[in-house]
């Protein structure tokens, strides 16, 4: 069933899940029961991916029902997403390195590797479980978190395919496909994120966690960590909120943050008056291969249909943008416009039609949207127009603590919850 990409639908799903967010979630979250029973997980990630529902919304709702101790496992999962974003924000060159490596990895496949790739993305490898997950991913846009790890491990260590192509396959099909969480999780499985530490899928673990549905044979029994030309760089300084212009401004939404009305207090403090809001009609290309024009010389055969971004992803993301745009227009009582994209050729005529020279947008973390906004900022500056980015306090408080591993970050979660004043009646 196709999911509804609106804030209202996401909040309804949150309300449904909250009673199970405590000790029941901690006990059952690692089980992958299949398509017919996802009650042990929240299923909120597609809405959180676009911030139709924000991390603050989720933690605040959960802690109104459960204590932080009882809901610690679920709250940690919410902060895992924040941690991954922060880690990549402090090391943006890791994203740039990944993005630059995907197309060469595809172009460099041998004939045997290309056969394996085609079988993997079409779910025809003959590996029990793996083929079912590939089919489920393409059909639904979702996989349980453990299935994602098993899939990545088999892709890297059994099929011996480049991890970058697996990460790109996920980005084409996951409704919650997030540049930080996806890229860094694949790096972690391969032994790049925590250098030398790999994740190896085993038949016993898969059988146990899937209730006996799958027990694949012939999996790799050893996982030799991948290496790369240079290690991840030292972290840079975390971003800080710059000045937000006052007076007449235009507001641009994007797929990384479709809840700009919750940023209104920050805009009001600056004295900004929102006179127009806009958003692209469709998603940015998250997948490097989907955006690439350099594949024409490479045979793709049965996998050709798998290279474009999934229609499910395009539909959900387009719906999220439309919903965010409608809500923003109503909230600010401003004209709402759908743009073909956010190149300068799309944005400049819209800005000029409203006689504004200051454009504000929610802060986009490292990834494809950020790359496009960086280019737009340069082009607008040449026309005398400033682009300002509004950084949520959720991110500005948490990201500076993502310089090391997650376990160090995890120790900060109670303090971060207190800083956000989210402890609620039970916390």
pLDDT tens per residue, range 118-160: 999 999 999 999 999 999 999 999 999 999 999 999 999 999 9
Task: Write down the domain spans for the chain.
Answer: 7-88+398-419, 95-209, 247-390
Measured CA to CA, the distance from residue 146 to residue 59 in angstroms comes to: 22
Tokens linked to 26: 């901690």
What's residue 1's pLDDT? 62
Quick one: average pLDDT of 267-278? 93
Cα 166 from Cα 175, distance rounded (Å): 16
- How confident is the model over 358-372, as a mean pLDDT? 96
DSSP letter at 156? I
Residue 59 pLDDT > 60, yes or no?
yes
Using N-to-C axis directions, what is the helix angle for 311-332 and 7-17, rounded to 10°? Answer: 100
Contact 176, 47 (CB under 8 A): no
Cα–Cα dist 382/386, whole Å: 9
- Mean of the per-residue pLDDT values of the chain: 93
CB-hemisphere CA count at 13 Å for 324? 36
**Residue 242: both structure tokens together:** 């710059």
User: Does the pLDDT value for residue 294 go beyond 50?
Assistant: no
pTM for this entry: 0.95
- Give the mean model confidence (pLDDT) for residues 13-22: 97
* Percent residues over pLDDT 70 in the chain: 95
CATH top-level class for 95-209?
mainly alpha
Residue 316 pLDDT: 96
Tell me what the mean pLDDT of segment 39-55 comes to: 97
For residues 58, 40, 132, 107, the Cα torsion angle rounded to the nearest 10 degrees is 30
Domain 247-390 class, CATH top level: alpha beta
Rounded distance, CA 195 to CA 369, Å? 28
* Lookup: tokens for 154: 């088999």
Region 7-29: mean pLDDT is 96
Neighbours of 211 (CB within 10 A): 12
Quick one: which of 113, 229, 104, 219 has its CA closest to 157?
219
- Phi and psi of 43, rounded to 5°? 70, 15
Q: Report pLDDT digits (tens) over 206-262.
A: 999 999 999 999 999 999 999 987 778 899 999 999 999 999 999 999 999 999 999
Backbone angles phi, psi at 377, to 5 degrees: -60, -40
Q: Give the integer Cα–Cα distance in Å for 100 and 418.
A: 40
CA dist 241 and 394 (Å) reads: 12
Using alpha carbons, select from 26, 88, 25 the residue that is nearest to residue 402: 88
Distance CA 109, CA 298 (A): 9
pLDDT at 230: 79
Res. 6: pLDDT tops 80: yes
CATH architecture assigned to 7-88+398-419: Alpha Horseshoe (1.25)
Half-sphere exposure of 30 (CA within 13 A, CB side): 10
Separation between Cα atoms, residue 311 and residue 315, nearest integer Å? 6
């Amino acid at each position: 069933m196709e999911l509804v990409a609106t804030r209202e639908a996401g909040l309804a799903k949150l309300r449904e899940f909250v009673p199970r967010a405590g000790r029941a979630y901690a006990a059952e979250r690692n089980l992958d029961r299949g398509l017919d029973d996802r009650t042990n997980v929240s299923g909120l990630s597609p809405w959180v991916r676009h911030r139709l529902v924000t991390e603050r919304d989720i933690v605040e709702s959960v802690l109104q029902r459960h204590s932080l101790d009882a809901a610690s496992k679920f709250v940690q999962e919410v902060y895992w997403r924040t941690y991954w974003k922060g880690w990549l924000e402090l090391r943006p060159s890791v994203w740039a390195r990944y993005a630059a490596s995907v197309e060469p990895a595809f172009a460099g496949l041998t004939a045997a590797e290309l056969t394996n790739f085609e079988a993997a993305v079409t779910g025809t490898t003959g590996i029990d479980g793996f083929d079912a997950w590939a089919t489920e991913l393409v059909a639904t846009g979702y996989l349980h978190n453990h299935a994602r790890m098993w899939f990545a491990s088999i892709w890297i260590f059994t099929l011996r395919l480049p991890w970058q192509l697996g990460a790109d396959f996920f980005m084409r099909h996951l409704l919650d496909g997030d540049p930080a969480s996806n890229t860094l999780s694949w790096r972690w499985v391969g032994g790049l994120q925590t250098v030398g530490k790999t994740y190896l899928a085993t038949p016993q673990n898969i059988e146990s966690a899937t209730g006996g549905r799958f027990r694949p044979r012939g999996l790799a029994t050893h996982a030799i960590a991948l290496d790369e030309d240079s290690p991840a760089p030292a972290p840079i300084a975390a971003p800080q909120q710059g000045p937000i212009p006052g007076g007449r401004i235009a507001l641009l939404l994007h797929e990384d943050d479709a809840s700009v009305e919750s940023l209104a207090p920050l805009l009001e403090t600056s004295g900004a008056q929102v006179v127009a809001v806009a958003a692209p009609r469709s998603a940015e290309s998250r997948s490097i291969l989907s955006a690439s024009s350099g594949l024409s010389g490479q045979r793709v055969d049965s996998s050709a249909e798998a290279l474009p971004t999934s229609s499910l992803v395009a539909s959900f993301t387009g719906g999220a943008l439309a919903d965010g745009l409608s809500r923003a227009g109503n909230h600010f009582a401003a004209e709402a416009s759908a743009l073909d994209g956010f190149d300068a050729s799309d944005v400049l005529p819209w800005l000029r039609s409203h006689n504004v020279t200051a454009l504000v947008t929610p802060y986009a973390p490292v990834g494809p949207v950020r790359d496009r906004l960086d280019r737009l900022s340069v082009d607008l500056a040449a026309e005398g127009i400033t682009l300002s980015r509004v950084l949520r306090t959720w991110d500005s408080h948490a990201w500076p603590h993502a310089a090391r591993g997650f376990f160090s970050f995890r120790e900060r979660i109670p303090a971060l919850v207190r800083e956000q004043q989210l402890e609620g009646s039970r916390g």
